[in-house]
């Protein structure tokens, strides 16, 4: 079948593909320890569910303005000011069908053929695809395990060329969990400001931080740099609302108007009921976020202790999000305990899934061959059994 060049070139999301493989084994009745998907295993908090039901009963089941209802835009701006001390206006906000959709809006509105989008690796699986769909070119900037997978100002400076239009920065990072100190971010911001580069700061994990310093939003750096900054965030991770599909951008008003226009033609408004639920999430008690963070903190500590005990494996400590991203390349070319010899992370993940029934995502998908990603957004008992199996496969 003849498809468009852009869609023919599209690879399926590697995380979704890895989860599908695990699901196929589960369908055969096999118990699989599945650490592939990046979503909290908690239910959406009760008061948020109640707000959705109330919204339906109040008749909020119709089209809304394409870029979101005024109450939600106001709630997003107020929550941002509460958390970061920076005031955005509602005309600088577009509410979309999840942060992934917001990223699509940003990239499509800002970039096209001839433009280059800078993406530090390891990167979240969809970044490259979204850039290519917009007809722009992704320029990957490798970072190192030794640096904790943090982009240095020098690496950024060297990567910027005449076609560079946008930097996609994600802190805390999926897949590495890397976070940046405010000083490090400011050093990067000096480079982007010097080159008048747009920055799209994907802050979707900003509530899931395990370091003593809270997350610092890009726009607050250097005394405030709203001019070429777009903040992307949403409720999927912090409020366990992945299925509700609500994300947003905070950006200069002219760009916001362009993205709203784009969205009005492509999808119209995000789900009306989900928008009302999100108002409740942002304006209600934030205790649910704190409680989930407490549980994630326990799981992270357990995960770190188990990864440290795995033979021939290394990992920089994740400062945020809910992933462990570790280097398994020392096991390549040598037999695992089951006799299998793997040449790369994909073969390693296949061996792990087929022989130990543990599902991880290969680092290749994130631009980091030699690594694997484990999501610890799952219960401790599951983690314990999964790590026992991983340890059983690795020779010391």
Query: Under the criterion CB under 6 A, does residue 124 sit at the interface with ligand PLP?
Result: yes
Comparing CA positions, the residue from 373, 356, 376, 374 lying closest to residue 365 is 373
Expressed in angstroms, the distance from the first to the final Cα of the chain is: 49
Nearer to ligand PLP, 33 or 123 (CB): 123
CB of 245 to ligand PLP, least distance (A): 7
Nearer to ligand PLP, 208 or 221 (CB): 208
**Would strands 247-250 and 229-234 be described as parallel, antiparallel, or unpaired?**
antiparallel
- State the residue number with the nearest CB to ligand PLP: 98
Query: Under the criterion CB under 6 A, does residue 179 sit at the interface with ligand PLP?
Result: no
CA 23, 3, 99, 124 torsion-angle sign:
positive
- Taking the C-alpha atoms of residue 387 and residue 236, their distance in angstroms, rounded to an integer, is 26
The tokens describing 356, both together, are 């130990």
Query: Under the criterion CB under 6 A, does residue 13 sit at the interface with ligand PLP?
Result: no
- For residue 343, give the 3-state DSSP assignment: coil
CB of 88 to ligand PLP, least distance (A): 18
Nearer to ligand PLP, 266 or 347 (CB): 266
CB of 333 to ligand PLP, least distance (A): 31
Q: Count the Cβ atoms, other than its own, within 10 Å of residue 33.
A: 23
User: Taking contact as CB under 6 A, which single stretch among the options 97-105, 257-265, 267-275, 342-350 is the one that binds ligand PLP?
Assistant: 97-105
Which CA distances in Å does 319 have to 11, 27, 210, 289, 322? 29, 35, 5, 17, 9
Contacts of 301 (CB under 8 A, 6+ apart): none
CB of 175 to ligand PLP, least distance (A): 8
Nearer to ligand PLP, 215 or 329 (CB): 215
Nearer to ligand PLP, 198 or 322 (CB): 322
Nearer to ligand PLP, 239 or 357 (CB): 239
Q: Count the Cβ atoms, other than its own, within 10 Å of residue 389.
A: 15
- Taking the C-alpha atoms of residue 328 and residue 390, their distance in angstroms, rounded to an integer, is 11
User: Taking contact as CB under 6 A, which single stretch among the options 22-30, 92-100, 262-270, 302-310 is the one that binds ligand PLP?
Assistant: 92-100
- For residue 381, give the 3-state DSSP assignment: helix
- Taking the C-alpha atoms of residue 315 and residue 146, their distance in angstroms, rounded to an integer, is 9
Please, is 294 exposed, middle or buried when counting C-beta atoms within 10 Å of its C-beta (0-12, 13-18, 19+)?
exposed
Q: Helix crossing, 253-266 with 99-110: angle to 10°?
A: 110
CB of 97 to ligand PLP, least distance (A): 8
Query: Under the criterion CB under 6 A, does residue 45 sit at the interface with ligand PLP?
Result: no
Among 174, 201, 249, 329, binds ligand PLP (CB under 6 A): 174
User: Taking contact as CB under 6 A, which single stretch among the options 96-104, 131-139, 270-278, 356-364 is the one that binds ligand PLP?
Assistant: 96-104
Nearer to ligand PLP, 323 or 351 (CB): 323
- Taking the C-alpha atoms of residue 339 and residue 318, their distance in angstroms, rounded to an integer, is 31
Among 33, 38, 207, 250, binds ligand PLP (CB under 6 A): 38
CB of 354 to ligand PLP, least distance (A): 26
Is the separation of the CB atoms in 355 and 327 below 8 Å? Answer: no
- Taking the C-alpha atoms of residue 369 and residue 350, their distance in angstroms, rounded to an integer, is 14
CB of 37 to ligand PLP, least distance (A): 8
CB of 327 to ligand PLP, least distance (A): 21
Nearer to ligand PLP, 170 or 329 (CB): 170
Is the separation of the CB atoms in 110 and 135 below 8 Å? Answer: no
Binders of ligand PLP in range 232-291 (CB under 6 A):
234, 236, 242, 247
Query: Under the criterion CB under 6 A, does residue 98 sit at the interface with ligand PLP?
Result: yes
CB of 217 to ligand PLP, least distance (A): 15
CB of 230 to ligand PLP, least distance (A): 13
Chain residues that interact with ligand PLP, rule: CB under 6 A: 38, 98-100, 124, 170, 174, 202, 204, 234, 236, 242, 247
């Amino acid at each position: 079948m003849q498809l468009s060049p852009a869609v023919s070139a599209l690879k399926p999301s590697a995380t979704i593909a890895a989860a599908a493989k695990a699901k196929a084994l589960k369908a055969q009745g096999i118990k699989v320890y599945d650490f592939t998907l990046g979503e909290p295993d908690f239910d959406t908090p009760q008061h948020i569910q109640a707000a959705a039901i109330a919204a339906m009963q109040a008749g909020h089941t119709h089209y809304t303005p394409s870029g979101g209802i005024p109450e939600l835009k106001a709630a997003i701006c107020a929550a941002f000011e509460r958390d970061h001390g920076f005031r955005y206006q509602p005309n600088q906000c577009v509410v979309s069908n999840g942060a992934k959709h917001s990223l699509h809006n940003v990239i499509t509105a800002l970039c096209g053929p001839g433009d280059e989008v800078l993406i530090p690796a390891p990167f979240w699986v969809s970044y490259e695809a979204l850039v290519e769909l917009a007809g722009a070119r992704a320029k990957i900037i490798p970072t190192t395990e030794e640096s904790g997978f943090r982009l240095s100002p020098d690496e950024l400076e060297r990567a910027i060329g005449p076609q560079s239009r946008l930097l996609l920065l994600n802190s805390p990072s999926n897949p590495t969990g890397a976070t940046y100190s405010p000083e490090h971010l400011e050093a990067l911001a000096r480079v982007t400001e010097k080159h008048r580069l747009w920055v799209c700061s994907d802050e979707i994990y900003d509530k899931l931080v395990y370091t003593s310093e809270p997350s610092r939003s890009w726009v607050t750096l250097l005394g405030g740099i709203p001019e070429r900054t777009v903040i992307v965030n949403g409720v999927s991770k912090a409020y366990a609302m992945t299925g509700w599909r609500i994300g947003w951008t905070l950006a200069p008003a002219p760009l916001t108007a362009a993205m709203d226009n784009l969205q009005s033609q492509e999808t119209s408004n995000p789900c009306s009921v989900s928008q009302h639920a999100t108002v409740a999430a942002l304006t209600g008690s934030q205790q649910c976020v704190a409680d989930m963070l407490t549980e994630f903190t326990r799981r992270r500590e357990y995960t770190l202790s188990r990864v440290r005990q795995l033979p021939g494996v290394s990992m920089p400590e994740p400062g945020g999000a809910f992933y462990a991203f570790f280097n398994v390349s020392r096991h390549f070319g040598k037999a695992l305990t089951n006799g299998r010899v793997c040449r790369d992370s994909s073969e390693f993940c296949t061996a792990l899934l087929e022989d130990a029934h543990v599902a991880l995502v290969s680092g290749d998908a994130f631009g980091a061959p030699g690594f694997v990603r484990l999501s610890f957004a799952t219960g401790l008992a599951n983690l314990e059994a999964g790590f026992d199996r991983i340890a059983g496969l690795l020779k010391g």
